Amino acid sequence: MLKFETIITINPERFDVNKFPNSKKFSKVTQAALKPNDPTIQYLAINKKDLTKRDIYTAQQGDILICLMNTKIRLIGIVDRFCIVPNTFCVLRPKSISTNALYALLKTSSIQEQLYSEKKSITLKDVKAIMLPHEISPAKNIVLSSLSSNWQNALLDRASFQDIIDNTFNNLKHTFNLKLENILIFSDITKTTDSNCLGKKDFPTEGILFSDTEITDEPTSILLTRKLKDIQEFKVGIIHDEYNSVKVNQNLLKVNVNCEFLYEIGFDKDEYTSLIFSKYIAYYFLSTAGKNTLQQCLESTETDVLQTLKISRLKQILIPLCPNIRYVVEEIENQIYWRDAEKYSKQLDHSAVMFEEFETIITNLSATHEITYTVPTELYSAREYSLMLAQYLANTPLYNELSISVILESYLHYVIFERHHAIKWENEHIEFYSPNDSVEGDIIIVVKLFNQPLNIPRKSKVIFIEER
Listed residue (197, 208, 205) closest to 236, CA to CA: 208
Q: What is the pLDDT of residue 360?
A: 92
Q: How confident is the prediction for the chain on average, in pLDDT? A: 83
Query: What share of the chain in percent tops pLDDT 90?
Result: 30
Listed residue (113, 115, 103) closest to 152, CA to CA: 103
Cβ pair 393, 361 in contact under 8 A: no
Q: Is 296 left (phi over 0), alpha (psi -120 to 50) or beta?
A: alpha
Q: What is the pLDDT of residue 415?
A: 79
CA distance 10 to 68: 13
For the chain, the first-to-last Cα distance in angstroms comes to 31
Listed residue (43, 48, 45) closest to 61, CA to CA: 43
For 44-77, write each residue's pLDDT tens digit: 998 988 888 899 999 999 999 998 886 556 788 8
Given 3-state DSSP classes, what are the helix, strand and coil percentages for the chain, each rounded to the nearest 5? Answer: 35, 25, 40
Cβ pair 90, 68 in contact under 8 A: yes
Task: Determine whether 451 is exposed, middle or buried from the number of CB atoms within 10 Å of its CB (0-12, 13-18, 19+).
Answer: exposed
- In 10 A of CB 286, how many CB atoms? 22
For 291-319, write each residue's pLDDT tens digit: 999 998 988 776 677 888 889 999 999 99
Q: What are phi and psi of 318, to 5 degrees?
A: -100, 135
Q: What is the mean pLDDT of residues 399-403?
A: 86
Q: Which H/E stretch holds residue 9?
A: strand 8-10
For strands 55-59 and 298-299, give the pairing.
unpaired
For 115-172, write each residue's pLDDT tens digit: 876 666 888 888 888 888 777 888 888 888 888 877 776 666 656 778 888 888 998 8
Q: What is the pLDDT of residue 212?
A: 40
CA distance 165 to 149: 24
Q: What is the pLDDT of residue 226?
A: 85
pLDDT at 411 over 60: yes
Q: What are phi and psi of 250, to 5 degrees?
A: -70, -5
Q: What are phi and psi of 452, to 5 degrees?
A: -155, 150
Q: What is the pLDDT of residue 333?
A: 80
Q: Give 467's strand partners.
A: 375
> What's the gap between Cα 84 and its chain centre?
35
Q: Which H/E stretch holds residue 309?
A: strand 307-309
> What's the gap between Cα 239 and its chain centre?
23
- Residues belonging to the chain: 468
DSSP secondary structure of 120-142 = S---HHHHHT-EESS---HHHHH
Query: What domains sit in the chain, N to C, each tagged with a CATH number?
Result: 2-149 (3.90.220.20), 161-337 (3.90.220.20), 350-467 (3.40.50)
> What's the gap between Cα 326 and its chain centre?
19
Q: Which H/E stretch holds residue 46?
A: strand 44-47
Query: What share of the chain in percent tops pLDDT 70?
Result: 88
Cβ pair 401, 429 in contact under 8 A: no
Q: Which comes out higher in pLDDT, residue 177 or 332?
A: 177
Q: What is the pLDDT of residue 120?
A: 67
Listed residue (231, 235, 230) closest to 200, CA to CA: 235
For 80-122, write each residue's pLDDT tens digit: 999 999 998 999 999 888 898 888 888 887 888 888 766 668 8
Say if pTM beats, i.e. exceeds, 0.75: no
Single-letter residue type at 281? I
Question: By three-state DSSP, how is residue 65 classified?
Answer: strand
Sheet hosting strand 461-467, strand order edge to edge: 370-375, 461-467, 443-447, 404-407, 430-433
Q: Which H/E stretch holds residue 278?
A: helix 274-286
Single-letter residue type at 113? E
pLDDT classification of 428: cutoffs 50, 70, 90: confident
Q: Which H/E stretch holds residue 261?
A: helix 259-264
Q: Which comes out higher in pLDDT, residue 271 or 29?
A: 29
pLDDT at 29 over 80: yes
Q: Give 444's strand partners.
A: 405, 462
CA distance 409 to 43: 44
pLDDT at 252 over 80: yes
Q: What is the pLDDT of residue 433?
A: 93
Q: What is the pLDDT of residue 194?
A: 52
Q: What is the pLDDT of residue 406?
A: 94
Give 351's contacts (C-beta < 8 A, 6+ positions apart): 104, 108, 133, 140, 143, 144, 147
Q: What are phi and psi of 270, to 5 degrees?
A: -75, -20
Q: Look at 158-167, 173-182, 376-385, 395-404 and tell me which has the smallest mean pLDDT.
A: 158-167
pLDDT at 282 over 60: yes
Cβ pair 325, 281 in contact under 8 A: no
Cβ pair 150, 344 in contact under 8 A: yes
- What's the DSSP call for residue 348? H
Long-range contacts for 50-53 (Cβ within 8 Å, ≥24 apart)? 51/17, 51/26, 51/84, 52/86
For 194-214, write each residue's pLDDT tens digit: 555 665 555 654 556 554 445
